[in-house]
Amino acid sequence: MAADMCAGRVVVVTGAGRGLGRAHALAFAAEGAKVVVNDLGVGLDGTPGSDSPARNVVEEIRAAGGEAVAHGGDIATAKGAASLVEAALDTFGRLDTLVNNAGFLRDRMLVNLDEDDWDAVLRVHLKGHFLPLREAAAYWRTESKAGRRPVARIVNTTSGAGLLGSVGQGNYAAAKAGIVGLTLVAAAELARYGVQVNAVAPAARTRMTERAFADLAAAPEDVAPLVVWLGSAASDGVTGRVFEAEAGRITVMEGWRPGPTADKGDRRTPAEAGDTARDLLARAQAPGAVYGAG
């Protein structure tokens, strides 16, 4: 029997055919949401696959008594992102929550990273967040201006790689760091329309992480509860935040903020700037270790 945290809500989850996205879609459905399950069905590196994982997840949801529809469009294109929102409106008549999750990896050390691999990863992760976000936001802005203020939620997917860096993943780390910046801007711009925007950095064993982090035992299902809560009306007042979630651990990540400062009141020489910088660094907190740099 479904719980009711998301009863009546319509939720879109991108990249929901496998791994984290699948866990999110099933968890939202278990809480009473109607779910649009998006997945392009590509391989780990973004090359075309032969199956339709989105339809499989829809069948799981329906078999459990829920409501869901599959969407196989490319959300990193304007047409695909628009059709994603249209799928929710045409099938269920509304949209309440967008979970941006789609992505793939093309890991290389920077000196071996091809331009195509850079572009492909930035496209699916960063552009694939921006375009669905923009389409959903336009719908909610229209609703708000019509006097139907939404209780809307966007949950973006960043990564520890975007927060701390990850050796061999320069393209992925840059995209995931960009998603944090996008989250902060969207939270500030969309609040007037009743939209809350947050990001989650998940740590879970999926096909994207099993090679890089073979010892990672946390399951995607461990991350989904936080995503469901952030995507529900129960998270009222929480926006512009980044959370890390792994197994039973949830951490509020605290980003860039001013640390030690020195103001001479006049221009420094390069030598003076260097002396000042070293003095400030001696009083500053050390950065977190880059993944894989040990």
One of 34, 127, 172, 235 is an active-site residue; which one? 172
Contact in structure between 138 and 189 (CB atoms under 8 Å): no
One of 83, 127, 139, 176 is an active-site residue; which one? 176
Please calculate the CA angle 265-270-276 and round it to the nearest 5 degrees. 60
Q: How many Cβ atoms sit within 10 Å of the Cβ of residue 280?
A: 13
One of 34, 139, 159, 166 is an active-site residue; which one? 159
> What element of type H or E holds 136?
helix 128-145
Contact in structure between 113 and 171 (CB atoms under 8 Å): yes
**CA distance readout (Å), 179 to 71, 182, 186, 242:** 23, 5, 10, 10
Give catalytic status of residue 159 as yes or no: yes
Give catalytic status of residue 83 as yes or no: no
The separation between CA 5 and the C-alpha centre of its own chain, rounded to angstroms, equals 21
Give catalytic status of residue 127 as yes or no: no
Q: How many Cβ atoms sit within 10 Å of the Cβ of residue 75?
A: 30
Supply the residues annotated as catalytic.
Answer: 159, 172, 176
